[in-house]
Structures are given as structure tokens and as C-alpha cells.
Amino acid sequence: MDLVVRAAVIFAVLFLLMRVAGNRQFSEMTAFDAILVIVIAEVTGNSLSGQDYSLTASIVVIVTLVSLDILISWLKARSRRFDRLAEGVPVLILENGRLLEENMKRERVDSGDILEAARSTHGLERLDQIRYAILEKGGSISIIPKSGA
């Protein structure tokens, strides 16, 4: 039972850290992000199993983590409030060519991120060509160009 409790606690802590880090952090992984994920996985694995490296302990930890993931998916499907808490909501970061600085600061997005999305999806070169830029729940930036842009 100790393994189940440890797995649940680690899952909850990692889940909380991912929510605090924000959606934008996980939309595109850099080399540093990949290394961080590997290190987190290693540390998490060690803390979950402690000194028990048996097959049974590994199976208990895996089943616990997968069960928690299924539970969260089930809760998200049944509760809009929980879905918003778990996944976040899309955030408007630019409106009619005007940067919404407070939203951008909170989501850790800069104008370069918006311009990159505008160039790659619509070939736009300037912020004033954009009607809306929205940071989606998954971390990508959606661009809605102005008419005729």
C-alpha cells in the first residue's frame, strides 16, 4: 500500500507542477526540456520504488499512475470545472494588433512567439495584420488574421 500512496503523492505533485508551469511550457520541447523530463522521470522512479526494485513494485506503481490518469480523464469528461482546473482555458494574447501584455506576462509569451505562429500559419509579418492571437490549452498559438491580411 505504501507504493500506491507514494505513486499518488508523486503524481499529484507532478500534476501541480505542470499546471503551475503553464501550457506554453509543454507545447514545444527544447533540449533543456527533454533533459528535464528525463531527470524528473529518473528521480520520480527512484522515489516511487524506494529500495524495492521488484517486478511487483514496478507493476503496482505503473497501475497506480495509469489509474490516476484514467481517473483524471474521467473527471474532466464529467466536470467542466475540473477540466478547466486540469487543462486550463484558451487565453487571448493579442486583439486587433494590440498585445495584451498582462495575459502575455501571465502565460510567459512574448511578441516573437506570436509573430512566429503568424508567419508559420498564415505568412503574416506584422502584429497589425492579426485580428486575434489565442494561446490554446495545449500551448500552441492560434492566429486569426484581419480581413485582407
Give just the sign of the alpha carbon dihedral 74, 77, 79, 85: positive
Q: Using alpha carbons, select from 9, 138, 1 the residue that is nearest to residue 68.
A: 9
Full residue range of the structural domain in which residue 16 is found:
2-87
Same domain for 96 and 59: no
Same domain for 17 and 44: yes
The end-to-end CA distance of the chain, in Å, is 60
Same domain for 29 and 17: yes
Same domain for 129 and 82: no
Same domain for 56 and 10: yes
Single residue among 87, 107, 122 that ends a domain in this structure: 87
pTM across the whole model: 0.64
What residues contact residue 104 under an 8 Å CB cut-off, 6+ apart? Answer: 93, 110, 111
Same domain for 132 and 80: no
For the chain (149 residues), the mean pLDDT of every run of 10, in chain order, is 78 75 58 63 68 66 76 90 87 96 94 95 94 91 88
Q: How many domains does the chain have?
A: 2
